[in-house]
Amino acid sequence: MALLAALLAVTATAPLAARVSPVRVLVYAPVAEAARSTMSPGLWTKMVTDYVNARTETFAGDAPPTLADCRAAHADFMVVAAFELRPRLPGLPGGGSRIGAFSRFVFTNCVTGRVVYDRRIELESEPGNQPEGDLDSVPEISWSKSVPATLAKYPVYFPRVSRVIQVTPPLAMVDLRNEVKAGDELRIYAGADRSPKGPIELVVTEVTGRYAQVLYSTVAGGPLPAVGDYVEPAQPSDAPTPEPAPTRTPKKVK
């Protein structure tokens, strides 16, 4: 508590600006050939980079980037997310004028080589006026609202990647606030120079104002947290955010 109070006293008058993830992300977001009549590569790449919400660089290769590609780009993570049409199976409803698609989002930590997020997300366009099955007449605007709305239901990994800003054993302070809550587990995966470190397991004990206080534990002779270390979620959630239940106004009894 004393550690948290000291930091809050220093920053009490500072405004809470939107936090920017301190990492660089290499993005590879191709569109399958069969889907290009309804989704352009440029539009899909923009949707993915907006969803990632970090400093990004687009990978221009014809195949998914490797760890070597990611490190050559001086990126900390890479995201692979291909846009593909969902097949319409015989005997099943075709969805009317809506077009079904999906993308498998795979996030990889390029420092550790660990896949930190892997989930298939189903997508559906807004309804259009074209005849069913006529993809060529589907305007790209038909995805402009539905895709961001769908992706917004899924937790974004990178805003919860942060850095250690102060260490007072056995506690440390991490530059996180609304992104975590007490009890969440984090881990240090790299030092300030972005070289592999640990992992060092952390547990959030308190979140107040601009920072999260964490408790860490290490083995004898093992690495210790240091200012500037990079932190990521230990077990990132990949479950969609549940939609609020509809509210019903009770009928008045006469």
Q: Give the model's pLDDT for residue 89.
A: 57
For residue 52, tell me if it sits in a domain. Answer: yes
Q: How many domains does the chain have?
A: 2
Q: Give the model's pLDDT for residue 209.
A: 77
Query: Do 32 and 87 fall within a single domain?
Result: yes
For residue 184, tell me if it sits in a domain. Answer: yes
CATH number at residue 126: 3.40.50
For residue 19, tell me if it sits in a domain. Answer: no
Calpha distance 32→21 (Å, rounded):
30
For residue 204, tell me if it sits in a domain. Answer: yes
CATH number at residue 184: 2.40.10.170
Question: Which of 100, 130, 151 finishes a domain?
Answer: 151
Query: Do 28 and 147 fall within a single domain?
Result: yes
Query: Do 29 and 133 fall within a single domain?
Result: yes
Query: Do 74 and 138 fall within a single domain?
Result: yes
Question: Which of 116, 151, 186 finishes a domain?
Answer: 151
160 CA to centre of own chain: 8
Question: Which of 129, 151, 173 finishes a domain?
Answer: 151
Q: 44 with 31: CB under 8 angstroms?
A: yes
Q: Give the model's pLDDT for residue 20.
A: 59
For residue 12, tell me if it sits in a domain. Answer: no
Query: Do 166 and 51 fall within a single domain?
Result: no
Q: Give the model's pLDDT for residue 142.
A: 86
Q: Mean pLDDT, consecutive 10-residue segments, the chain of 254 residues? A: 44 43 92 92 94 92 95 95 83 62 96 93 80 50 89 86 93 88 93 93 90 88 92 70 43 50
Q: 165 with 22: CB under 8 angstroms?
A: no
Query: Do 28 and 107 fall within a single domain?
Result: yes
Q: Give the model's pLDDT for residue 42.
A: 93
Diameter of the chain measured on Cα atoms: 75
Calpha distance 101→36 (Å, rounded):
12
Query: Do 147 and 221 fall within a single domain?
Result: no
Give the N- to C-terminal CA distance of the chain in Å, as an integer. Answer: 56
Q: Give the model's pLDDT for residue 178.
A: 75
Residue 1 identity: M
Query: Do 219 and 102 fall within a single domain?
Result: no
Query: Do 144 and 57 fall within a single domain?
Result: yes
Q: Parallel, antiparallel, or unpaired: how do β-strands 162-168 and 185-190 relate?
A: unpaired
Could you tell me the residue range of the domain that residue 178 belongs to? Answer: 161-233
What are the residues whose beta carbons fall under 8 Å from the beta carbon of 194, sequence distance 6 or more? 76, 111, 230
Q: 21 with 161: CB under 8 angstroms?
A: yes
Q: What share of the chain is helix, strand, coil (3-state, %, to 5)?
A: 20, 30, 50
For residue 193, tell me if it sits in a domain. Answer: yes
Q: 112 with 161: CB under 8 angstroms?
A: no
Q: Give the model's pLDDT for residue 217.
A: 83
What are the residues whose beta carbons fall under 8 Å from the beta carbon of 227, sequence distance 6 or more? 164, 165, 166, 167, 192
Query: Do 31 and 142 fall within a single domain?
Result: yes
**pTM of the entire structure?**
0.78
Query: Do 41 and 68 fall within a single domain?
Result: yes
Q: Give the model's pLDDT for residue 139.
A: 47
Q: Give the model's pLDDT for residue 84.
A: 96
For residue 18, tell me if it sits in a domain. Answer: no
Q: Parallel, antiparallel, or unpaired: how do β-strands 162-168 and 115-124 relate?
A: unpaired
Q: Which CA distances in Å does 120 have to 93, 108, 131, 229? A: 21, 15, 28, 31
What DSSP string runs through 183-250? T-EEEEEE-TTS-EEEEEEEEEEEEETTEEEEEE---TT-----TT-EEEESS---SPPPPPPPP-PP
Query: Do 31 and 143 fall within a single domain?
Result: yes
For residue 13, tell me if it sits in a domain. Answer: no
Q: Give the model's pLDDT for residue 9.
A: 39
